[in-house]
C-alpha cells in the first residue's frame, strides 16, 4: 500500500479489525520509510446489479430508491425504520446471491410485496396499488379480497 505522506510503496499492518458490522476491514498501517501511520479499508467488490425496467430501460440497483418506496408505503404506519432497513438489506443480499447480473423491476417489486405483507398489510396494499397500477376499484378490491382470503386460510 502506497504511503499517502511520502509515496513509499511498502507499509506494514499494525492493527486490523472489522468495521461497519463486518462489511469492511479497517487496517492501521505504518510506512516502512517515514514511519507515519495511516488507515485503509478493505471492502468486498460487488458486481453491480442492473434493473430491467418495465419500459425497457436499464439502471443500476439503488437500495435507497427501494427504501424510499417502502417508506412511502409505510407512511403513518407503525412499522419501525429498522424493519424496513432489514428488508432492504435482505432484498439486496438476495439479489447479489442470485448471481444474475440483470434483475427485472417486477421481480424486485414482488420481493418487496412479500416482505411488506408480513410487516404491515396496509403498507402492502399501498405498495401493491402503485406497483401493480390498479386501473379501477375492481382490481383494487380483487387484491384486497386475496389478502383477506390469505389471512383466513
Provide the pLDDT for residue 124: 84
Q: Which mean pLDDT values do the consecutive 10-residue runs of the chain (153 residues) have?
A: 95 92 90 97 85 92 94 92 94 88 90 90 84 68 74 55
pLDDT in the model for residue 69: 92
Locate 114 and state its grid cell.
Answer: 412479500
Phi-psi label, residue 133: left if phi above 0, alpha if psi -120 to 50, beta otherwise? left
CA distance 105 to 62: 11
| Whether 94 contacts 134, CB under 8 Å | no
Q: Which three cell numbers stand for residue 98?
A: 442470485
Residue 2 has which C-alpha cell?
502506497
Nearest of 115, 126, 61, 53 to residue 90 by alpha carbon: 115
DSSP structure class, residue 57: -
Amino acid at each position: 500500500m502506497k504511503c499517502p505522506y511520502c509515496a513509499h510503496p511498502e507499509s506494514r499492518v499494525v492493527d486490523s479489525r472489522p468495521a461497519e458490522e463486518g462489511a469492511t476491514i479497517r487496517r492501521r498501517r505504518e510506512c516502512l520509510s517515514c514511519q507515519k501511520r495511516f488507515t485503509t479499508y478493505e471492502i468486498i467488490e460487488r458486481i453491480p446489479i442492473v434493473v430491467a425496467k418495465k419500459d425497457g430501460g436499464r439502471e443500476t440497483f439503488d437500495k435507497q430508491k427501494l427504501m424510499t418506496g417502502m417508506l412511502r408505503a409505510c407512511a403513518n404506519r407503525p412499522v419501525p425504520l429498522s424493519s424496513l432497513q432489514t428488508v432492504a438489506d435482505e432484498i439486496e443480499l438476495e439479489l447479489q446471491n442470485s448471481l444474475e447480473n440483470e434483475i427485472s423491476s417486477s421481480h424486485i417489486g414482488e420481493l418487496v410485496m412479500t416482505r411488506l405483507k408480513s410487516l404491515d398489510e396496509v403498507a402492502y396494499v399501498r405498495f401493491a396499488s402503485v406497483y401493480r397500477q390498479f386501473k379501477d376499484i375492481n382490481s383494487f378490491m380483487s387484491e384486497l379480497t386475496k389478502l383477506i382470503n390469505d389471512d383466513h386460510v
